[in-house]
Amino acid sequence: MNRFMSFVTTAALLATLQAGAQMQLPGEQSSGMPAVPGPLAAKYKTDADRILTAAMADNDGYAALTYLCDHIGKRVSGSPQLNTAIEWGAELMKKAGLQNVKVQPVMVPHWVRGSESGEILTSGKGAVKKPLHMLGLGMSVGTPKEGITAQVVFVPSFQALDELTPEQVKGKIVLFNPGWHGYGVNSQYRTAGPSRAASKGAVAVLVRSATGLAMQTPHTGTLRYDEKQPKVPAAAVSVEDALMIERLAAEGPVQVHLQMDAHMEADVKAGNVMGEIVGSEHPEQVVVLGGHIDSWDVGQGAQDDGSGIMATFEAVSLIHKLGLKPKRTIRIVFWVNEENGGAGGRAYREMIGDKIGDQVAAFEMDGGAEKPLGIGYGGFGGPRRPAPPAPGAPAVAPPARGALDMTTLSAEEKQSFVYMQDIAALLKPIGTDTVSPGGGGSDIGPITADGVPALSPRTVGLHYFDWHHTEADTLDKVDPDDFKRNTAMLSVVAYVLADMDGRLVGRKSTFRE
C-alpha cells in the first residue's frame, strides 16, 4: 500500500489553480500542504468544532476496536472468526442507532494455511541446520506431504531470473530478495514471483518479506497465480533469513526443506456490513466510507484493518450522536475479502448498479491509524496497487503520487481541490489540515474506477509496514490518541461532503486489485 504522498504549499497550489500551470510536488520529506479557510470552513466551523471536541473525548471507538482484536481476533476470509465479526459488526451498527443496517451476502474464498515449516539444511561449506522464520503466502498451494527438499537459486530481481536458463532453475527453490524499495516494488515479487519462477521450472518459491524492518518477523500476503503456469508453493521469509541464504548462496549450493499444508476449500458465505445516516434532502446521494473487516490469519488484524473499520464506524456514529442531519446519506461499510480476493468491493459495485452517479464520494481507511497528517484526494482515479509486471518485465515502482499536471484538469477538478482544501482547514485544531493528490483503496476501487471521487487518510506512515500481515499486528500498535484524531478527521470530512451544496469530481480509470 503506497500511502505516502508528497505535498505542496498552499500558496503554490493556489497560484497553480489560478494560472493553470503544471504543478510538480516536492519529495516525500516535505511537511504538507496546509489548507486555507474559505466559505465552506466558515459555514461549517461550528459543527466541525463540535465533532472534533466529541471525537477527542470519545472512547467508544477504541473500546470497540479492543473487543474486535481481543475477543474475535484474526479474521481470514472463509473462517468462522470472520463471520463472527460480521454478525458483531451489524449488531454494533444497530446499537449505535444507524439506519438500514444489513449484511450484503458475498461468497468469499476459503484458503487454509495448515501446518508449515522451513529449514536450511546444507550450504557450500557444510551443514547449517537452521529453521526458517517463514509464513506461507496467502492462496498458495501446499507441498507434498513429505515436503520439498531442493537447492536454492538466489535472484535479486525479475531481470536476474529472466537471465537464467530453465536448466539453471528446474527442480530448484527460487528465493527473491530484491532488497527494500518500498511496498509497491517489493509486493510485486510476492504476487507475481511464484508464477514467474514456475515458468522456468522452479518447484517452490521463497520471498523476502515486504518490509524494511529486520526483526525476524515474516510477512504474509496474497499471491496471484498465472493460470498458464504450474502452481508451486510459496512462502515469505524474514529479512534476516533471506539475507543469510543470499550469503550462503554466494559460498556454494544451499539446500532448503519446505513443508506446507496450505490448501483451498469450498467458498464460504460472508458479507459486507453496512449502515446509514439517511440524508435529510437527498437520501439517494451517498457518501460512503469504511475499510475491510477481514484480515490475515496472523496477529489480530488491528492496524490492517481493524483500526480502519472502527475509526470510520465511530466517525459516522459521532455524527449521529451529535444529532447532525446531513443533506445526503452517509453510509458506513465494512467490506469483506480485501486481503485475498476483493469480492466485497466487487459486490458493492454490483449492488450500486446504474446508480453510480449517486455515489458522491468514497473514503477508504486501510493504511493504519498512525498519526494523521490530512487527506489524500484521489479524484483523478488510478488503482492503489501496481499491476503485476508482465512476463519478462522488471519490477518497477508505481508512478509517483505527488506529481500533478494541473493543465490536464478541468475547471470542475480544480474547484474540487479548492473544496477539499477548505474542508481540511476545519481540521487545523487537531493538526490534520493538509490535502494531497492521491487517495482511495482497493475496496472502493471498483466504484472509483467509474468516476466516484476517492479519498483516504494520510498518516506519518512510520511503522505500518513493520506490522501489517504479521503476528505483530496487534492492538498495542494502535495509539488511542492517534486513533481519535483519525476518527475526528474522518467524521468532519464525511459530514461536510454529505451536507455541502457542491460536489467533488472524479475520473474514470482502469481498476486493478
Q: Is 338 a catalytic residue?
A: yes
**At which residue does the C-alpha cell 524492518 appear?**
213
Q: Element (H or E) spanning 102, and its range?
A: strand 99-112
Measured distance CA(495)–CA(340) in Å, rounded: 31
Question: What are the beta bridge partners of residue 82?
Answer: none
Report the sign of the C-alpha dihedral through residues 387, 369, 453, 410, in that order.
negative
Of 483, 495, 486, 485, whose CA–CA distance to 68 is shortest? Answer: 483
pLDDT at residue 24, rounded to an integer: 32
Confidence band for 511, pLDDT divided at 50, 70 and 90: low
Q: What are phi and psi of 291, to 5 degrees?
A: -155, -165
Measured distance CA(452)–CA(460) in Å, rounded: 26
Report the sign of the C-alpha dihedral through residues 483, 484, 487, 493, in that order.
negative
Provide the H-helix boundaries in 145-288. Answer: 158-163, 166-169, 183-198, 239-251
Measured distance CA(139)–CA(363) in Å, rounded: 28
pLDDT one-digit tens code per residue, 435-490: 988 889 999 999 999 999 999 999 999 999 999 999 999 999 999 999 999 999 99
Instruction: Indicate if the pLDDT at residue 145 is higher than 90.
Output: yes
CA distances from 508 to 235, 387, 488 (A): 36, 17, 29
First-to-last CA distance in the chain? 11
CA distances from 53 to 8, 44, 247, 318, 429 (A): 29, 14, 55, 11, 10
CATH of 10-109+267-386+410-499, one of 3.90.1150.10, 3.40.50.300, 3.40.630.10, 3.40.50.150: 3.40.630.10
Catalytic one among 338, 364, 413, 513? 338
Measured distance CA(196)–CA(184) in Å, rounded: 18
Query: Minimum mean pLDDT among 12-26, 259-273, 370-384, 458-472: which range?
Result: 12-26
Q: What is the DSSP letter of 124?
A: T
pLDDT one-digit tens code per residue, 325-335: 999 999 999 99
- Sequence letter at residue 220: T
C-alpha cell at 450: 467509474
Q: 246 near 496, Cβ under 8 Å?
A: no
Task: Report domain extents, the chain.
Answer: 10-109+267-386+410-499, 114-261
Instruction: Indicate if the pLDDT at residue 396 is higher than 80.
Output: no
Instruction: Report the C-alpha dihedral over residues 211, 214, 218, 222, rounded to 10 degrees.
Output: 10
pLDDT at residue 32, rounded to an integer: 47
Measured distance CA(423)–CA(52) in Å, rounded: 13
Instruction: Indicate if the pLDDT at residue 22 is higher than 50.
Output: no
CATH number of 114-261: 3.50.30.30
The residues, ordered by sequence, that sit 6+ positions from 399 with a Cβ below 8 Å of its Cβ are: 382
Question: What are the beta bridge partners of residue 260?
Answer: 116
Measured distance CA(368)–CA(428) in Å, rounded: 21
Taking residues 339-368, what's their average pLDDT? 97
The residues, ordered by sequence, that sit 6+ positions from 11 with a Cβ below 8 Å of its Cβ are: none
The proportion of the chain whose per-residue pLDDT surpasses 70, expressed as a percent, equals 86
The residues, ordered by sequence, that sit 6+ positions from 470 with a Cβ below 8 Å of its Cβ are: 135, 217, 218, 219, 220, 298, 299
- Sequence letter at residue 74: K
C-alpha cell at 1: 500500500
Measured distance CA(115)–CA(112) in Å, rounded: 9
Taking the model in full, what pTM does it have? 0.89
Q: 174 near 235, Cβ under 8 Å?
A: no
Give the β-pairing of 234-237 and 126-131: unpaired
Measured distance CA(155)–CA(51) in Å, rounded: 52
pLDDT one-digit tens code per residue, 43-101: 999 999 999 999 999 999 999 999 999 999 999 999 999 999 999 999 999 999 999 99
Rounded CA Rg of the chain: 23
